[in-house]
Amino acid sequence: MLKFDFLKLVLFVVVIAAFVACSEDKKDEVTPTLEVKTFTNLYAPQTGGRGEPIGGTFVKFSFAKGDIVSDNSWDIAFRGTTILINGGAAIGINDEPQRTGNGAITIVTGTFEEVKEVPDASLFKQDAANTYAVPTGSGTGWYNYNPVINLLTPIAGRVFVVKTHDGKYAKFEILSYYKNAPANPDTTDESIFRYYTFRYVYQPKGTTF
């Protein structure tokens, strides 16, 4: 009788342990709540321009950390109007950071809210020799430039989906290129230029936003 009771006790303990382990596994699998965040005034200066060679350090940003970083955890990097991705190969421009990740990027047409899923992998691009994953120049990448009034504005309806350096995903939309994101920037004041404001969603565990 005592042996039978002991076996029942052992079986009970095993069942409880299995239940607890299963509960812990399910807890770990809970999908995180995705949050739309805005990063304001990421300053991305450059040297040169106006006929002179462009240079200067790229400012590196991590979606996982939601901040500027100085190590290899960066996903995208900014300098002037140029955006790089931590994946691919060197383009061949001055002062570009070393790429240590496997990041990539694609442009989706639509509103920020409409972009709910990661596009097909074949649509993603990486930097390469003489090739920018995010095209440069007015009307081709993320902005339009009006030389008459010296005004740069983000192209409406362009959302960037990023495969991060470590294989996660994020989407972002650039809102402004001027300090504090004024509705009507004073384009005669160059001290407010090259300050990015953008909103983003970081997805660490899936392919939906």
Say what the pLDDT of residue 49 is. 87
Residues 57 and 126 both lie in one domain: yes
Specify the pTM. Answer: 0.85
Residues 95 and 8 both lie in one domain: no
How many domains is the chain partitioned into structurally?
A: 2
In a domain, 208, yes or no: no
More confident residue, 24 or 91: 91
Residues 13 and 109 both lie in one domain: no
Residues 25 and 74 both lie in one domain: no
Residues 75 and 4 both lie in one domain: no
Residue type, 92: G
Question: For 107-133, how does the pLDDT look when each residue is reduced to its tens digit (9 = 90+)?
Answer: 999 999 999 999 999 999 999 999 999
Domain that holds residue 89: 33-203
Residues 25 and 53 both lie in one domain: no
Name residue, tokens 């504005």: 153
Residues 148 and 165 both lie in one domain: yes
In a domain, 126, yes or no: yes
Where does residue 58 rank: exposed (0-12), middle (13-18), buried (19+ CB within 10 A)?
buried
The per-residue b/e assignment along 171-191, b for 16 or more CB within 10 angstroms, e otherwise, is: bbbbebbbbebeeebeeeeee
Task: For the chain, give the percent of residues with pLDDT over 90.
Answer: 83
Say what the pLDDT of residue 161 is. 98
